[in-house]
A and B are shown apart, each in its own frame.
Chain A
Amino acid sequence: MLTNNQLATMTLRHAIFHDVPNQRGDGGGQVTLATDVTPIDAERRRLLRSKLIRSLDSAHAYGMVFQSQPASTVPGFVREITATGYDKAKFIAASQGMAQHLFQVQSGAVSPGLLCVIDIVIDNRHGLVLMKLEREQGAELKMKEEGGKTHFEMSVLDSLVLTGNTRLFKGAAFLRTGPGDDDFEMTACDNQHNPTDTNEMARFWQKYLGCDLEEAPRVSTSKFFNATLEFENSQVADPELQTVIYESLHSELRSATPTFSPRTFLAEHVPVPARHELIAYLEGKHVSMANFPKDIQDIRGSLRRLTYISVEGVRVVAPEGRGELVRVEEEQIVVNDRLSRIGRS
């Protein structure tokens, strides 16, 4: 996944737009392919870059890897274009190929729009950005012809990207980091869908890109859970704060919300300065602060707890499957463990 540092030094060099309608049942609908790049002035370039950063570092962004045997042609085009320096003819041809592929897979349920392909450089490394922009009804997109070549006018950015309701789009950035086929840092974002939703609409963008999530949700979930518990046990001295972190972590992970936001969790449940320490701790353990879809299958046992409630209202909560820790007798409940801390709620 691209880092903030990488996004900060991203330079947009060339952009091309293609108009990609939906596949219609009657076989109608035509892709309008540009045959030249669209010249972009400095201010629009800055605004475009700003929009990209807002998407690629947003809560909807996620890391990706190429599928090993993708049905999509996108990985091949991305590998080919970024293998060398910028080659205008190759860039235009590949962008047209990606637009054609989008047209082939874009069924009636998926919104039509423009595919924008941008040649980028980050830290002297070559990369590519794809943006699928929803085309508003009635938006006038002007095609310009110059020297026998056509390109969409720069004003296309004004109507589709830079003004109005422009948060709704899908994007992806590929940054080549080495000569190998999989030597890429990749980030995708889909402002309309959760990356782990299984329905076709949600999977559409990943399938088109020929990519899978970089880290399986169950791995992200258990990494965050385990690292936070480790921190709570080893770095937090205050028993009250230990209890707050422990309880809120369990509660948030067991809630019905499909996505977990580490930043929100920290902001809502961990006070400063422990919050800063926990962030640094997670970073040290290579636990991402990006949102992830919850999947508790690896930590299900740790999250399940049995609660014993005494006649006088004493509650003993124990991990499920650890029956040896609590022995219930006729007149008493015996806890076979040492006291670690006392919590107050």
Chain B
Amino acid sequence: MNVEEARAEWIRVRGEYRGFADLLKTRLLQVAQELGIYAEVSAREKETHSLVKKLIRKPHLSYETLPDKVGVRIIVRYRSELGPVEASVKERFAFEKVDDKAVALGLDKVGYLSIHVDGIALKEGDPEIARFPAKNFFGELQIRTYGQHLWSEVSHDTFYKNDELVNKLPPDLQRRVHLTAGLVEVADREFNRMNQEARPVPAVEVFSGLEKLYYTVASKRPDVELSMAVINLILPLYGQVSPREILQNHIIPTFEKRRGQLVAIYSNPDFDFDGASAFFFQPEALLILDRLQFDRAELLAKWNEAFPEGELHRVAENFGFALD
């Protein structure tokens, strides 16, 4: 198939590949939700001009073998979340190979980092396999952190995109490119470590536990500052117990008992959340839910010390509780 034929064919079938991209996006959001992590997932079928450009630039590829007719990306916050996402993807999808760019860089180089899953497709037995057979419908998945994404995005359209281009720069500029790539990687690692080291602070530990549960039922990003204010206000209601005990003995059992309904509450498209409380799409909503179940009066009294009463009424109603 020559370039012109490829262009015509792509225009004809592009809509089907859009459907495949949408399906991959939905499935990857489910992966993140099941792992209880926040992730930004995007998926798109290649634009026609982009497909043609690639076929011209890489003559060894054909229309049929072009690996990224569909491109999918999942971006997580912390490096420690990359492994679980990769493992879950390998378990749920068919794929050709996994290419961890860190391995190629080796120990003494810095630069573009991501995990690429080439030839990602639906597995045999998937309910959608007849619509999207793996022979024709496959794509390229990139799994990366925000730090890695920063480097990738900034370098993408510039001369320091890859070693080949960097090597043509003056030596001092080459060195500055490497130093900057190293800085970005150090920052990425530091974010991961700081996230783990911050947990001994009780409110942060409770927030981390709540966040993990929250992302299994919701996908909107919370306001962390507000979260900490609410958690610090409500924690004393549990008495002198550790964050771990609060999570294990109170929040998790309350959550698990209502998990199915919470998924419905947070994702029902018929449900109008325009009037949802500002505290509803926040991990600490699950803490509020636990107190609504067990200590409504004390919760209300405590709440009124810091926040508008109307907001607690709203979040209570979002969960089907009346405070009166």
Q: Does B221 interact with chain A (Cβ within 8 Å)?
A: no
Whether A54 sits at the interface, judged by CB under 8 Å, is yes
Stretch at the interface among A27-35, A43-51, A243-251: A43-51
Whether, in the assembled complex, A6 has its beta carbon less than 8 Å from a beta carbon of chain B, the answer is yes
Q: Which of A1-53 contact B (CB under 8 A)?
A: 3-11, 42-43, 45-47, 49-50, 53
For residue B298, which residues in chain A have a CB less than 8 angstroms away from its CB?
A: 267
Considering only CB atoms and an 8 Å cut-off, how many residues of chain A contact the other chain? Answer: 34
Which B residues are in CB contact (< 8 Å) with A237?
none
Q: Report B313 CB to chain A, min CB distance, Å.
A: 8
Which residues 8-32 of B have a CB within 8 angstroms of A? none
| Residue B189 is within 8 A (CB to CB) of chain A in the complex | no
Q: Is the CB of B320 within 8 A of A5?
A: yes
- B258: which A residues are within 8 A, CB to CB? 5
Asked whether any CB of chain A lies closer than 8 Å to the CB of B268, the reply is yes
Given contacts A57-B322, A272-B239, A273-B239, contact A9 B317 (CB under 8 A): no
| Other-chain contact of B265, A9, A43, A54, A275 (Cβ < 8 Å) | A9
Asked if A11 and B270 sit within 8 Å, CB to CB, the answer is yes
Contact A53 B272 (CB under 8 A): no
- Report if A263 contacts B (CB, 8 A): yes
The minimal Cβ–Cβ distance linking B314 to chain A, given in whole angstroms, is 8
Q: Do A46 and B275 form a contact, CB below 8 Å, given A7-B320, A8-B265?
A: yes
Contact A5 B297 (CB under 8 A): no
Contact flags (1/0) for B250-285 with A, using CB distance below 8 Å? 100100001001001100101110110000000000
CB of B238 within 8 A of CB of A4, answer no
Whether the pair B268, A9 counts as a contact (CB closer than 8 A) is yes
Which of these, A4, A7, A45, A280, contacts B272 with CB under 8 Å?
Answer: A45
Residues of A within 8 A of B239 (CB): 272-273
Instruction: Please report the C-alpha to C-alpha distance between residue A236 and residue B193 in the assembled complex, in whole angstroms.
Output: 43
Contacts of B297 in A (CB 8 A): 263-264, 267
Interface residues of A in 273-307 (CB under 8 A from B): 273, 275-276, 279-280
Chain B residues in 8 Å Cβ range of A47: 275
- Please tell me if B159 contacts chain A, counting CB pairs below 8 Å: no
Residues of B within 8 A of A3 (CB): 320
Which A41-72 residues have C-beta < 8 A from chain B? 42-43, 45-47, 49-50, 53-59
**A4-B319, A9-B261, A53-B321 given as contacts; is B294 within 8 A of A276 (CB)?**
yes
| Interface presence of A123 (CB below 8 A) | yes
B295 within 8 A of A: yes
**Distance in Å from the Cβ of A241 to the closest Cβ of chain B?**
14
Give the distance in Å from the alpha carbon of A47 to the alpha carbon of B258 in the complex: 24
Q: In angstroms, how far is the closest chain A Cβ from the Cβ of B299?
A: 11
Closest Cβ of chain A to B101, distance in Å, is 44
| Minimum C-beta distance from B218 to chain A (A) | 14
Residues of A within 8 A of B274 (CB): 42-43, 46
Query: Measured between alpha carbons, how far is A47 from B313 in the docked complex, in Å?
Result: 12
| Bound complex: CA A57 to CA B293 (Å) | 12
On whether the beta carbons of B250 and A4 are closer than 8 Å, the reply is no
Cross-interface CB contact of A57 among B238, B241, B321, cutoff 8 Å: B321
Residues in chain A near residue B293, CB distance under 8 A: 4, 279
CB-defined contacts of A11 to chain B, threshold 8 Å: 268, 270-271
A10 to B270, CA, bound (A): 10
What is the CB-to-nearest-CB distance from B135 to chain A, in angstroms, rounded to a whole number?
A: 37
Instruction: Name A272's closest neighbour in chain B (CB-CB).
Output: B239
- Cα distance, A276 to B320, chains bound together (Å): 20
Say whether B56 faces chain A, with CB atoms less than 8 Å apart: no
- A279 nearest CB neighbor, chain B only: B294
Give the residue name and chain of the B residue nearest to A280 (CB).
Answer: B253
Inter-chain contacts of A276 with B (CB < 8 A):
249-250, 294-295
- Say yes or no: A55-B322 contact (C-beta < 8 A), given A5-B258, A46-B272, A263-B296: yes
Min CB distance A252 to B, Å, is 16
Contact of B294 among A43, A49, A53, A275 (CB under 8 A): A275
Residues of B within 8 A of A273 (CB): 238-239, 241
On whether the beta carbons of B320 and A57 are closer than 8 Å, the reply is: yes
**A23: min CB distance to chain B, Å:** 32
Q: Complex formed: what's the CA distance from A11 to B298 in Å?
A: 30
Shortest beta-carbon distance from A339 to chain B in Å: 30
Whether the pair B320, A6 counts as a contact (CB closer than 8 A) is: yes
Would you call A53 and B320 a contact (CB within 8 A)? yes
Q: Is B157 interfacial (CB 8 A cutoff)?
A: no
Q: Is the CB of B317 within 8 A of A50?
A: yes
Q: Are B261 and A42 in contact (CB under 8 A)?
A: no
The reply on B108 being an interface residue by CB < 8 A is: no
Of A4, A8, A53, A273, chain B has the most CB atoms within 10 Å of the CB of A8
Is residue B48 contacting chain A, with contact meaning CB distance below 8 A?
no
- B positions within 8 Å CB-CB of A: 237-239, 241, 249-250, 253, 258, 261, 264-265, 268, 270-272, 274-275, 293-298, 313-314, 317-324
Task: Give 10 new A-B contacts, CB below 8 A, not counting A7-B320, A9-B261.
Answer: A4-B319, A4-B320, A8-B261, A8-B320, A9-B268, A42-B272, A43-B274, A54-B324, A264-B297, A272-B239
Binding site for B on A (CB under 8 A): 3-11, 42-43, 45-47, 49-50, 53-59, 121, 123, 263-264, 267, 272-273, 275-276, 279-280
Top-5 shortest CB links A-B: A8-B320, A7-B320, A57-B322, A4-B320, A5-B261
Of the A-B pairs whose beta carbons lie under 8 Å apart in the complex, a sample of 14, sorted by A's number, is A4-B321, A9-B271, A9-B320, A54-B322, A57-B322, A123-B264, A263-B296, A267-B297, A267-B298, A273-B238, A273-B241, A275-B295, A276-B250, A279-B293
